[in-house]
Chain A
């Protein structure tokens, strides 16, 4: 887009200037070309003044870090996390709110990241499975519960289950097995390992209460 717009005045200028000035212009326009990414930013900003219009470059708060990212309007959070920010711990299973593998926390509440637009989580606190462990590498109590109980078989669904459990435990830190089963019922395991998963998550809840 901007290349053509920037190129036009250069071409028209060439025709009517001296050789010395022409060289100056070429040097100057080279500088303009090399900074043209700045202009790309400024154009969407100008459009954003229309009510409700959205910018492409947004800042997300992911796992406590501010991440600047270029987001398509129709982009889901799962896509942004995995393919733009490299946070591949969040899995995409069904990609349509039916399996829970993509569960992340938005302001401490579990959501299917495959079924929300990245643009709707601006200004919110996003936590993925990568953000659970401490800075020193110490696992989150629920993650430790998974290891303690060998909770999963193939574990593709594990990040989703762990995030759903961490979110649920924020509202009910001391659940019964049945309450926890209900609380994380929005996640599927194709290995049908639910009993072991529940045992691991109950252990995780216990670890959290001790921590």
Chain B
């Protein structure tokens, strides 16, 4: 725990007003640079002296990063748009109701007033061994303290872990994957657009990073195409307390049905795997099936195939199964209502 009334160790602060200046500063300071969005993940690292960047590049003064624009038939949400702004945005609410539901489930009102959507999808893992500065795999060491016989791993992954068993803590990540969002990234070599699904990486790809962003890269916007506009959405976040807590498990889905049968489905979860997980097997397996209890049951069982719980997170297996069931059935229930 941080020492109360302690001061964050010194760093050089930059507040560029254009993306170009921000990129130039990132290039100049290289590995010593830290990108600051809302700061709610960053300040814990700084105050605890676990991460000590020499140069903090605060994006808060770059106006174009906090705009929501209509592009083509979709929307482009600037990376510095706060979660509260996302929740309140009329077009987002009208067409992509899944996203405001997920954004509103994040932390507390004050945190949503300051935390940004770009920060929410780029935040670091919450594993307490890692956050407390233990020299684990993710921190460059050669052990995972959570995955040991006495490890505290109630919140950790049951799928796709590779040495590190931490999960991605984002609530908006599964919603963006379901909406087929595109992440707009500025790199020193130009602009790059990647699918939300590919933005997040697991420890098998690079154990020290949560996203494909490399030092010097900047997430500038998130584009939401009209692919799933107006679909039937389902979002549920299970956590210990109703406010502040990160998800134990969350689920997001979008469904289009016709004649009582599932025509299109996208399903993603967070908190179960070492990265936000799209359940493609379930998506294809239920296509054309009627929306009913039987299909939901089948989907739930299919979802948990291959799950490997640790000592203290076995409850995540039935939780995952039931949330998938509810995502399939809940969408049906909402339409019937």
Contacts and interface: CB of A to CB of B under 8 A. Distances in A.
A74 B8 contact: yes
Interface string A71-98: 0111110010000000000001011111
Nearest to A114: B43
B288 interface: no
Contact of A96 (B12, B17, B44, B113): B44
Contacts, number: 106
B10 A72 contact: yes
A150 B24 CA distance: 55
Nearest to B241: A185
A107 to B, nearest CB: 10
Interface size class of A (residues with CB under 8 A): 20 to 34
Given A74-B7, A120-B60, A100 B13 contact: no
Contact of B57 (A52, A115, A168, A184): A52
A189 B239 CA distance: 20
A112 B5 CA distance: 15
B47 A119 contact: no
Nearest to B14: A52
A164 interface: yes
B8 A103 contact: no
B242 A186 contact: no
A9 interface: no
Interface in B1-60: 2, 4-18, 21-22, 24-25, 36, 39-40, 43-44, 46-47, 56-58, 60
Contact of A73 (B6, B10, B24, B107): B10
B24 A111 contact: no
B108 A95 contact: no
Nearest to B18: A51
B218 to A, nearest CB: 13
The CB with the most chain B CB atoms within 10 A, among A75, A168, A183, A185, is that of A185
B2 A96 contact: yes
Interface in B205-219: none
Contacts of B25: 51-52
A211 to B, nearest CB: 24
Contacts of B5: 92, 95
Contact of A51 (B8, B21, B44, B56): B21
A25 interface: no
A52 B16 contact: yes
Between B2, B43, B58, the greatest number of chain A beta carbons within 10 A of the residue's beta carbon is seen for B43
Given A111-B113, A111-B114, A52 B15 contact: yes
Contacts of A73: 10-13, 56
Given A51-B17, A168-B109, 16 more contacts: A51-B24, A51-B25, A52-B17, A52-B21, A72-B10, A73-B10, A74-B13, A95-B4, A96-B2, A103-B110, A112-B110, A115-B39, A115-B114, A182-B109, A183-B109, A186-B108
27 contacts: A51-B18, A51-B21, A52-B15, A54-B13, A54-B14, A72-B7, A72-B10, A73-B11, A73-B13, A74-B8, A74-B11, A75-B7, A95-B2, A95-B5, A97-B40, A97-B110, A97-B111, A100-B110, A109-B113, A112-B110, A115-B39, A116-B114, A117-B13, A185-B108, A185-B242, A185-B243, A186-B243
Interface of A: 51-54, 72-76, 79, 92, 94-98, 100, 103, 109-112, 115-117, 119-120, 164, 168, 182-186
Closest 8 interchain pairs by CB?
A186-B108, A52-B16, A52-B14, A73-B13, A74-B8, A185-B243, A51-B21, A186-B110
